Structure 1
């Protein structure tokens, strides 16, 4: 793999992290769910031991949320390329809701290249500080 190919994968995966935060804040659940592989796994930072498995289940979990206004800020994104079709990454996350102090946590991600581009195969959230 060339350095340019590695950087392209890193960029594509980092973009996925940012897109996820933006779509989540805009309550565009169908589009959030499509960022996962069909058999993707998600754990919320507030429930890191509860796995939500599969794109349909992930969509249902988001759709079941009570309405709220949020702003997710993800930073310190580091992507490690494993090979041409797999990568992993971490990022820090701050969640603002406007009604409680910010929540601080992180995501630990696994990425897979699909026919539709890079997708999350796993997105595991954890809390560092809770309001």
Structure 2
């Protein structure tokens, strides 16, 4: 793999992280779920050990949550390319909900290249600290 190919994969995966945040904040749940591989899985930052598996189940989980206004700020995105079709990444997340002080956490991702481009094979969120913690 060339340096240019590696950088292209890193950029594509970093863009996927940003699209996820923007689509999530827009409440576009079908589009959010489409960012996962059909057999992808996710664990929310508020429940990092509670996996939701499969694109359809992920969509159902998003549709089941109460409506709310959010703004996810994702930064410090680092993508490590494993091979031409797999990568892993980590990013920091700051979540504003308008209901409480912001939450700070991170996402750990595994990416897979599909015929349709790069998707999440796995996305696991965790909270570093929450409002009221010291």
TM-score category by the smaller chain?
A: over 0.9
Q: Which residue does the alignment assign to 2:37? A: 37
Corresponding residue of 1:53: 53
Query: What secondary structure, in the 3-state scheme, does the structure 1 residue paired with 2:125 have?
Result: strand
Residue in 2 that maps onto 1:16: 16
SS at match of 1:50: coil
- Per the TM alignment, residue 37 of structure 1 is displaced from its structure 2 partner at its CA by 0.3
1:44-123 correspondence runs (5 A):
44-123=44-123
Instruction: Kindly report the root-mean-square deviation, in angstroms, between the aligned alpha carbons of the 2 structures.
Output: 0.4
- Any idea what the Cα deviations from partners look like across 1:84-115, whole Å, max 9, x if unmatched? 00000000000001110000000000000001
* Length-normalised TM-score, structure 2: 0.97
Q: Distance in 2 between matches of 1:130 and 1:60?
A: 26
Structure 1 CA distance for aligned equivalents of residues 58 and 111 of structure 2: 16
- Bigger proportion of residues as strand: 1
Q: Return the alpha-carbon distance in structure 2 between the equivalents of residues 63 and 93 of structure 1.
A: 22
| Distance in structure 2 (CA, Å) of the matches to 1:33 and 1:116 | 14
- Structure 1 segments of 4+ aligned residues over 3 angstroms from their partners: none
Q: How far apart, in 1, do the equivalents of 2:87 and 2:5 lie?
A: 13
Distance 1:88 1:106 in 2: 13
Unpaired stretches in structure 2, ≥5 consecutive residues: none
Q: How many aligned residue pairs are there?
A: 131
How does the TM-score come out when normalised to structure 1? 0.99
